[in-house]
């Protein structure tokens, strides 16, 4: 095996609007870990939020934190107990490693584990560096037909998979997806892959709806932020030809959460994936007298393999989500592109491997 070069250029968030690239020691894997040469790392909305605000809810960047959690890598070294991976394997990295012993972990709902260690959620470091150590059993070997960018995109795709599983989407479901950002788009594609017969996706921006159509949305609806939710619900129902039996909010805006609850068919499900304000006003009576179930989504659990199968089988094509590529040396530019929405980015990918070529 080629010797490991002592270059571990790493992107560290020091504070608001202050990302620095610096050399860090190459970490040493424990017995159940792998050392990864990092490859593709996508920029998530939460990374941008920590950069511009320094916090999300109770999670505050108090010490310098390595950024990034949507990632893939190539195995450089394995710990002595690791059996399912070998050096050279390309893997997708599931970024949250739970405690494995609490009741949530034992029930398989490990996304609810209070002690989960989740990349780039302060004070836990992320993985945007040349090298990174991760629990081997939270690394998924990529088959030859799945690229390293797709491996990184399994992270947001897993959110969509989790949402569709919790929504109970199946053959013939009629689905409303609110918001055509990365999460809305993967959710729409998952809904189709799960068998939904009609999916309508909404957004404020035309360019996002155009991409949604290209990715397989049956219908799109442009949202006027001044429109009443009753009028929007009428439009949704008119376009779909019936009420959706599942609505999935992927933006967190009050107007859209209200629309999700009002538009959903009696007996259906409104799934809330987007996170906006802590407190919003909701048309609760409309939901409860019609037995519309309201479900929240928090990341994902046991969904990476499904996401990988969807991509490997060609049932979901996430590649067109990537609109921009940067080298790790250009991380500051990559984040500026995200913050200022330069060139209408959907997913910005940063490449940590010095051998990566455009």
44 binds Zn ion (CB under 5 A): yes
Q: Please, which of residues 306-345 interact with ligand 572 by CB under 6 A?
A: none
Q: Which residues contact 278 (CB under 8 A, 6 or more apart)?
A: 57
Among 277, 268, 221, 222, CA closest to 247: 268
Query: Which of Zn ion, ligand 572, none does residue 237 bind (CB under 5 to 8 Å by kind)?
Result: none
**Closer residue to ligand 572 in complex, CB, 76/322:** 322
| Residue of the chain from 11, 13, 41, 44 that contacts ligand 572 (CB under 6 A) | 44
CA 201 to CA 336: how far, in whole Å?
28
Complex with ligand 572: residue 121 or 258, whichever CB lies closer: 121
Residues 256-275: x/- map of binding to ligand 572 (CB under 6 A)? -------------------x
For position 250 contacting Zn ion by CB under 5 A, the verdict is no
Give SS3 for 311: helix
Considering only residues 148-167, where is the footprint of ligand 572 by CB under 6 A?
Answer: 155
Tell me how far CA of residue 8 lies from CA of 5, 87, 129, 133, 180, in angstroms.
Answer: 8, 18, 6, 12, 35
x/- letters, 84..123, toward ligand 572 (CB under 6 A): -------------------------------------x--
**46 contacts ligand 572 (rule: CB under 6 A):** yes
For ligand 572, which residue of 4, 21, 48, 56 counts as binding (CB under 6 A)?
56
126/244 with CB nearer ligand 572? 126
15 vs 45 by CB, closer to ligand 572: 45
Q: Cα angle vertex 333, ends 329, 335, to 5°?
A: 105
Pairing of strands 322-327, 18-23: unpaired
Q: Residue 289 corresponds to which tokens in the numbers above?
A: 């007298």
Compute CA distances 262 → 87, 181, 205, 283, 290, whole Å. 52, 22, 22, 7, 10
Please give the Cα distance from 6 to 277 (Å, whole number): 44
- Residue 21: contacted member of Zn ion, ligand 572, none (CB under 5 to 8 Å, by partner type): none
Count the site residues for ligand 572 by CB under 6 A: 12
Write the CB contacts of 26 (distance below 8 Å, at least 6 apart in sequence): 4, 6, 8, 35, 130, 131
Residue 82 or 93 with smaller CB distance to ligand 572: 93
Q: Which one of 44-52, 164-172, 264-272, 280-288 is the stretch in contact with ligand 572 (CB under 6 A)?
A: 44-52
Binding site for Zn ion (CB under 5 A): 44, 46
Binding site for ligand 572 (CB under 6 A): 44-46, 56-57, 59, 69, 121, 155, 275, 298-299
């Amino acid at each position: 095996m080629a010797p490991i070069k002592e270059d571990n250029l790493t992107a560290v968030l020091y504070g608001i609007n202050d990302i620095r690239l610096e050399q860090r020691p190459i970490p040493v894997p424990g017995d159940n870990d792998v050392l990864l040469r990092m490859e593709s790392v996508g920029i998530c909305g939460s990374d941008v939020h920590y950069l511009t605000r320094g916090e999300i809810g109770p999670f505050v960047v108090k010490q310098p934190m390595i950024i990034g959690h949507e990632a893939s890598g190539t195995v450089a070294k394995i710990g002595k107990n690791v059996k399912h991976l070998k050096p050279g394997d390309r893997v997708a990295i599931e970024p949250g490693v739970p405690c494995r012993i609490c009741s949530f972990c034992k029930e398989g709902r490990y996304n609810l584990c209070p002690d989960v260690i989740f990349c780039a959620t302060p004070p836990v470091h992320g993985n945007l560096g040349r090298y990174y150590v991760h629990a081997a059993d939270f690394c998924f070997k990529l088959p030859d037909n799945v690229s390293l960018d797709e491996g990184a995109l399994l992270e947001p795709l897993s959110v969509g998979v989790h949402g569709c599983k919790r929504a109970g989407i199946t053959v013939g479901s009629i689905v409303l997806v609110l918001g055509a950002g990365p999460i809305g788009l993967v959710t729409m594609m998952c809904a189709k892959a799960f068998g939904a017969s009609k999916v309508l996706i909404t957004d404020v921006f035309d360019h996002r709806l155009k991409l949604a159509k290209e990715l397989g949305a049956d219908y799109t609806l442009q949202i006027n932020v001044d429109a009443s939710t009753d009028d929007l619900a009428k439009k949704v129902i008119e376009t779909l030809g019936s009420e959706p039996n599942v609505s999935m909010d992927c933006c967190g805006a009050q107007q859209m959460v209200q629309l999700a609850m009002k538009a959903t068919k009696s007996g259906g499900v409104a799934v809330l994936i987007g996170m906006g304000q802590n407190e919003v006003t909701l048309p609760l009576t409309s939901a409860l007298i019609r037995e519309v179930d309201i479900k929240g989504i928090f990341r994902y659990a046991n969904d990476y393999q499904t996401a990988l199968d969807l991509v490997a089988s060609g049932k979901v094509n996430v590649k067109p989500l990537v609109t921009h590529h940067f080298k790790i040396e250009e991380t500051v530019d990559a984040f500026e592109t995200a913050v200022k929405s330069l060139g209408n980015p959907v997913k910005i990918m940063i490449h940590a491997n010095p051998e990566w070529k455009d």
